[in-house]
Amino acid sequence: MEDSKVRDLVVVGAGPAALSAALYASREDIDTLLIEKGAIGGLAAVTDWIDNYPGFAKGVSGMELSEAMRAQAERFGAKIELDEVLSIGSKGDNKLVKTHDGEIEARAVLIATGNDYKKIGVTGEMEYYAKGVHYCATCDGAFYRDKRLVVVGGGNSAVQEGMFLTKFASHIDMLVRGPEFRASQVLQDELKAKHTDKITVHFNTATDEIVGENGKVTKVIGTDKTTGQKVEFPTDGVFVFVGLSPNTKFLDGSGVELDERGFVKTNSDLGTNVLGVFCAGDVRSGATEQIASAVGEGATAALTIREYLDQIPARKRLELPRRSMKTDRRSYSEIL
């Protein structure tokens, strides 16, 4: 930890929502620290190609977009530390953020931790994690040049990442539990038009077990749900894309209210039920889980946090000239 001063704002995470909030907050001379345990840019950083972010007519790589967001936030003074937040508590009127490196006191906290890849929970999945079982095609696909692969899932990420893996794999068996894809029609059409020579889709196929030998994955055993018969798929690796789960474990005991799926509940101002703790991006209950909307929520959260900080009584931070940040949002004075 670089120092022990009280921060105006600690942002937990460094994905698109966090970096957007940091940009807006830092530009208003709000002392802002981001804490990220993984990749700067979050899941966006490990997405091969992004076609639906406004302003990039030809698309943009996830890494390029993430690096640009990081550079812009840092240009206005935001600080980023690689560490893991273990818990959030209180210290008087301030918040206490506990990390592996120590504790940070802050006047406000923004939760922007995003999501992580869901696991399928079958035998062999954890045993061969990172040794044949993967959740990120961009990160690990190149290890499987001219190899056979199994992709598990039938949503947007499974189809998109499966098509990306055709750059390396000799053949891919895609196991879809249901009778049809859940992916968008655009992605389905692209798969059918360009990749049927390398991808064989198996609908109504459950994944039961990942089998290996001598420390390497050798096959996937599943069930054909239409016949009830076991089926086997020889493979050198397995990529699982079955959805995302919220990164909220560190909120246990914090008092921050979560919904039934573990996402953070917020009001219309992106505030949680704990005063001074806000939330934006994919980890928020009701989020649309798109990069563009996460960026918008980050900006909105910064607006609200600016107002909140301005109305804290006896505020002890250095007052500097600020650019105008007009907002017609509800005032926090009524609850302070």
Mean pLDDT of 317-336: 42
**pLDDT for 172:** 98
In the chain, residues under CATH classification 3.50.50.60 are 7-116+244-335, 119-240
pLDDT band (50, 70, 90) for residue 336:
very low
**pLDDT for 51:** 86
CA 298/CA 174 separation, integer angstroms: 35
pLDDT band (50, 70, 90) for residue 317:
very low
CA 103/CA 88 separation, integer angstroms: 10
**Among 254, 248, 252, 307, which Cα is nearest to 281's?**
248
8 to 12, 305, 319: CA distances (angstroms): 13, 10, 12
Task: Of 4-8, 33-37, 120-124, 285-289, give the lowest mean pLDDT range.
Answer: 4-8
CA 149/CA 312 separation, integer angstroms: 56
pLDDT in tens, 222-239: 999 999 999 999 999 999
**pLDDT for 17:** 98
Neighbours of 204 (CB within 10 A): 16
Count of residues in the chain: 336
pLDDT band (50, 70, 90) for residue 320:
very low
Indicate if the alpha-carbon torsion angle 284, 288, 289, 290 is positive or negative: negative
The mean pLDDT of the chain is 91
Amino acid identity of 313? P
Domain 119-240, what architecture?
3-Layer(bba) Sandwich (3.50)
Mean pLDDT of 254-259: 96
Per DSSP, 259 falls in state: -
Angle at 248 between CA 259 and CA 135, to 5 degrees: 110
Tell me the two tokens of residue 167. 């750059």
pLDDT in tens, 105-143: 999 999 999 999 899 999 999 999 989 999 989 888 999
pLDDT band (50, 70, 90) for residue 8:
very high
Q: CB pairs under 8 A, 24+ apart, for 189-196?
A: 190/163, 191/159, 191/162, 191/163, 194/163, 195/162, 195/163, 195/166
Q: Is 50 exceeded by the pLDDT of residue 316?
A: no
For the entire predicted model, the pTM comes to: 0.77
Q: Is 50 exceeded by the pLDDT of residue 318?
A: no
Pairing of strands 229-234, 216-224: antiparallel
Cα distance between the two ends of the chain: 30
Topology (CATH) of 7-116+244-335: FAD/NAD(P)-binding domain (3.50.50)
The more confidently predicted of residues 115 and 47 is: 115
Q: Is 70 exceeded by the pLDDT of residue 333?
A: no
The more confidently predicted of residues 43 and 86 is: 86
